[in-house]
Amino acid sequence: MPVVPARDVARLLVDIGVLLQRSGAHTERTIRNLKRFAASFGYEPEIFVAYSGVTITVQDDEHEQSTTLFGRVEHHGVHLATVAAISQLSWQIADEPCSISQVRTEIQRIKALPHFPRWLIIPMIGLGCGALARIAGAEWPVAGITTIAAALALFVRMMLASGGFNALLVVMISAAVASIVGSFASLFGLGPTSGLAVAASVLFLVPGIPLINAVIDMINGYMTTGMGRGAMGISIAFSLAAGMLTGIQIMGVSPL
């Protein structure tokens, strides 16, 4: 018989589920990991994952009572180190069961896993976009403009996101900034591939993780969550296109 109260297990599972969803895990992986945690305490939970939150029901067989808790996913990001750490912890718990307080301590440690610092992320993303432009055939000056445009746009995105602005508006403004700066390659006449500066400088805004997770969710039968992720991915793509169009129109250049 389980010795850990059902409500304590439900709280733990909701906390882990929300953390996984916020970090970019798809639905099947989230449910699989949560069931692995629950099994280590002797429970078989009912789990419902939606785009906006996670609902957990844990049945207490001894008292014939059930506990249902809901955790809201306020924003969706990408932190794959967190997803991998939770998955690894779930396997460790399955092999060597431990107390719920120990699991909570580990989850708090995982929550505190550091992101790369901004001073490193911004130039690296800029260089990545510049390298993609170069691979696509852009001249070195065009690749340089691409690097500057992407780095500046990412800085703007981080500033706006930290200010609590709407996520779609942040994408649109960031894409506009990248397009405006990238358009200088065409204005300066840096070569026949100048248009690549605009195209490549916004690549970091492409919603790859939401769209990939949407496909995975729908393949696995989680249609509601998959459609939610897909709708958000498409909305981000439209915001990206709107920002590019705005920047190009402001500068009066053609991306071709």
Tell me how many domains the chain contains: 2
* Claim to verify: residue 81 and residue 137 sit in the same structural domain: no
Last residue of a domain, one of 111, 130, 157: 111
Inform me whether the pLDDT recorded for 235 exceeds 70: yes
Inform me whether the pLDDT recorded for 137 exceeds 50: yes
Residue 1 lies in a domain: no
Residue 24 lies in a domain: yes
Domain hosting 67: range is 6-111
The two tokens of residue 100 are: 């719920």
Query: So what's the pLDDT on residue 9?
Result: 92
User: Is 5 in a helix, a strand, or coil?
Assistant: coil
* Claim to verify: residue 101 and residue 129 sit in the same structural domain: no
Inform me whether the pLDDT recorded for 141 exceeds 70: yes
* Claim to verify: residue 138 and residue 242 sit in the same structural domain: yes
* Claim to verify: residue 17 and residue 128 sit in the same structural domain: no
* Claim to verify: residue 98 and residue 210 sit in the same structural domain: no
- Going by the DSSP 8-state scheme, the letter that residue 70 receives in this structure is E
Least confident of 153-157, 165-169, 173-177, 189-193: 189-193
Last residue of a domain, one of 111, 137, 172: 111
Inform me whether the pLDDT recorded for 42 exceeds 90: no
Inform me whether the pLDDT recorded for 255 exceeds 70: no
Query: So what's the pLDDT on residue 1?
Result: 46
Letter for the amino acid at 208?
G
Q: What are the pLDDT digits (tens) for 203-225?
A: 999 998 899 999 999 999 999 99
* Claim to verify: residue 83 and residue 125 sit in the same structural domain: no
Of 187, 144, 182, 170, the C-alpha closest to 77 is 170
Helical ranges in the chain per DSSP H: 6-22, 27-40, 80-95, 100-111, 118-135, 140-162, 167-182, 184-187, 196-201, 208-219, 223-251
Residue 203 lies in a domain: yes
* Claim to verify: residue 171 and residue 59 sit in the same structural domain: no
When pLDDT is cut at 50, 70 and 90, the band that residue 46 belongs to is very high
* Claim to verify: residue 144 and residue 162 sit in the same structural domain: yes
In this structure, are residues 89 and 40 in contact, taking their beta carbons and an 8 Å threshold? no
DSSP string covering 230-249 = HHHHHHHHHHHHHHHHHHHH
113-119: average pLDDT: 84
* Claim to verify: residue 224 and residue 240 sit in the same structural domain: yes
* Claim to verify: residue 95 and residue 133 sit in the same structural domain: no
* Claim to verify: residue 30 and residue 95 sit in the same structural domain: yes
Question: Rounded CA gap, 106 and 55, in Å?
Answer: 22
In this structure, are residues 52 and 42 in contact, taking their beta carbons and an 8 Å threshold? no
* Claim to verify: residue 63 and residue 133 sit in the same structural domain: no
Last residue of a domain, one of 111, 143, 163: 111
Inform me whether the pLDDT recorded for 90 exceeds 50: yes
130-159: average pLDDT: 94
